[in-house]
Each structure stands twice: as C-alpha cells, then as structure tokens.
C-alpha cells in the first residue's frame, strides 16, 4: 500500500505505464522472450516458453499491449526482430530472412539450391532440435525420415526447413500474440504496413547521431576519402531523422542504436561495427544490406545524385522485402 501513488493522467502516466509494462514483457523470469541470435537488444519469442504453463495467456496479453500501444499512439520500450513483425503482419517468410537469424545455415541452404546435390549430400526430410540438453529429431513432412532429399525435391526441403527454423516451436505463441493484437487492431487496418513502419510506430524514432555513426564505421575496398563514401555521409546528413532510422533498419535490422552508441553495434558473431563494402556491380544496381554483419554493399556510383537516389530507393524497396540479396 505504501507504493500506491495517486496521479492525474494527462498522458504522462499512461506513457510511463506502457514503458514499464513493455520492459516487463521481456523479463527473462517469464520465459516469454529471449534475445535474438545476432545481438543483445532485439527480442524474439522463446521456443522454450512452454516451461511457463500459462505462457499462451501471457502471449495473448502481450499482443493486446502491443495492439493498445499502436492503436492509442503510445510507444513501447522493447524492440523485436524483423521476423517477429513479419509474422505479426502475416507477411510470408523466405530464405532471405534466414540470413539475419543464422548466416551459416543460410549459406548452406543457398548452396543446396544453387548446386547439383546428386550423390553429394545424404539428407532426409528431418532436422534436429535441442531442448533442455536433449536432442530430438523432427520430421519436416509426414514420414520425412524415410524421404531422401534429391535434386528434384530440394526446393521443397529448403522451403520446409526454412519455415521450421523461422517458426521453430513458436507457432502457438505467435498465434496467441496475433489474437491479442487483433482484439484491439482489426487486421485490415495494418494490412498495408511493412515491418519497418510498425516498428517505428511502436518504438518511435530516437535522434540518430550521424557523427557517432560515421566515427564508428568501417570500410572494405573503400577508404574514408573515397568519393562514394564522402557522398554517402553527405546523403545521410541531408536525410530527415525518419529516413536515417529506415537506413539503420535496412542495414542492421532495427532502428535501435545500442546503449553506448554505434561503437557497441553487435552482429551475428559478436561486436560488429557498421561497415560499407564496395559492391563489384554496375552503378545501375541498388545497395544491398546484410543485417547479420551490419554491412552495406555500395556500388561505385558516378555522382552524389545517383548515390542518393539509389540509397533512398533501396531503403524503401528493401524494407518491403524486394531488395536484392
């Protein structure tokens, strides 16, 4: 009773409530969410959340909190992965989404698709998962253990394995979140949104320090004085803060800058600074992002205007999932 405090709410109390409740949603004691595989500041659904017997009720409540915040225009204090937002919006997942989750697995699956695997790989329509220290085999389709992967059916294998890995043990949890979310936000109202727009609406746009960003950037096959690099930072400085957030999302997967600034960016294998790499493609191509490495591949554009136009196109088109990979 001593902790109860009366107050008149002109928006501040509600804003604080959303901030506190959203932080509590990701409290590890509830086992609902865990950090994503590639950083320590975005969250994904915990596949082992079932250790909490009431986890589906909690997840529906989480969906309602997210929906209420979106509907009423308040911000939450937790950032989710792009895959989470795509699933919330019923946007189909694809192999490219794997790159940000497990780049090594992504490269393996892409190799399977691009090469003849006849008499090379001995695979069946199964995969293994580890749960509480024990390994369990899961069939990707009925009788999958007795179905060999061949050159003819490898596309189906990669599709089913990708679907399993991206939705691994979390279908019920995501369905509960979506039920709660749509209790307050009818599905047609968010039909035209993409994951980046939903994140910006829910988490807001914090002021992005371009000088800090630039001071903590690295380059491959370019130097800080290369014309393309000079033009790039000139382009970023000229952007509105919203567009800077979209660019950051495009390259790193989230608009969130970690505590301590750009020096503390994390990639799939530990600390990984923002990196610009020369793309050995014609200037007619758009920039390409690799979110697991915080890497932006920039072709050698011929003018500032060309770079600016291609960069703005990439962050708009790429956020919708049609960018090159």
Q: Which positions are catalytic?
A: 292
Distance CA 262, CA 269 (A): 16
Q: Which of 221, 47, 54, 12 is nearest to 129 (CA)?
A: 47
CA atoms within 13 A on the CB side of 162: 24
How many residues are listed for the chain in this entry? 325
Torsion of CA 38, 287, 104, 196, to 10 degrees: 40
Contact 76, 19 (CB under 8 A): yes
Counting other chains too, the contacts that 211-215 makes at CB distance below 8 Å and 24 or more residues apart are: 212/261, 212/262, 212/263, 213/262, 213/274, 215/262
Matching residue, tokens 């409540």: 61
Distance CA 226, CA 237 (A): 17
Alpha helix ranges (H) inside the chain: 12-25, 55-72, 82-88, 95-101, 103-114, 154-167, 171-184, 195-203, 210-215, 227-238, 241-252, 304-319
Please classify residue 289 by burial: count the beta carbons closer than 10 Å to its beta carbon, then call 0-12 exposed, 13-18 middle and 19+ buried: buried
Q: Is the dihedral of CA 190, 192, 196, 197 positive or negative?
A: negative
CA distances to 107, 165, 183, 228, 302 from 278, rounded to whole Å, are: 20, 31, 47, 9, 13
Annotate 50-82 with DSSP letters as a single string: GGSTTHHHHHHHHHHHHHHHHHHT---S--B-H
């Amino acid at each position: 009773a001593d902790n109860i405090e009366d107050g008149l709410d002109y928006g501040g109390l509600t804003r604080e409530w959303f901030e506190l409740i959203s932080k509590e949603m990701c409290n590890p004691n509830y086992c609902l969410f865990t950090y994503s595989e590639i950083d320590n500041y975005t969250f994904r659904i915990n596949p082992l959340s079932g250790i909490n017997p009431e986890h589906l009720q909690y997840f529906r409540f989480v969906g309602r909190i997210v929906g209420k915040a979106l509907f009423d225009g308040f911000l939450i204090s937790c950032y989710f992965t792009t895959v989470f937002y795509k699933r919330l919006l019923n946007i189909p997942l694809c192999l490219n989404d794997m790159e940000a989750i497990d780049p090594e697995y992504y490269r393996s699956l892409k190799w399977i698709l691009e090469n003849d695997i006849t008499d090379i790989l001995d695979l069946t329509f199964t995969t293994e998962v580890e749960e509480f220290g024990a390994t369990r085999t899961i069939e990707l389709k009925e009788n999958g253990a007795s179905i060999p992967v061949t050159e003819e059916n490898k596309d189906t294998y990669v599709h089913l394995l990708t679907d399993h890995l991206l939705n691994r043990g979390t279908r019920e949890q995501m369905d509960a979140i979506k039920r709660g979310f749509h209790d307050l936000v009818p599905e047609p109202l968010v039909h035209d949104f993409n994951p980046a727009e939903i994140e910006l609406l829910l988490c807001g746009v914090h002021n992005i320090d371009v000088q800090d960003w630039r001071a903590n950037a690295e380059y491959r096959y370019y130097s800080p004085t290369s014309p393309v690099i000079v033009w790039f930072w000139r382009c970023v400085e000229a952007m509105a803060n919203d567009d800077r957030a979209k660019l950051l999302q495009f390259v790193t997967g989230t608009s969130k800058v970690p505590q301590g600034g750009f020096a503390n960016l994390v990639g799939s294998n530990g600390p990984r600074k923002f990196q610009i790499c020369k793309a050995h493609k014609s200037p007619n191509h758009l920039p390409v992002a690799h979110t697991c490495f915080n890497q932006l591949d920039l072709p050698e554009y011929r003018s500032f205007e060309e770079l600016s136009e291609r960069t703005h196109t990439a962050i708009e088109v790429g956020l919708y999932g049609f960018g090159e990979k």
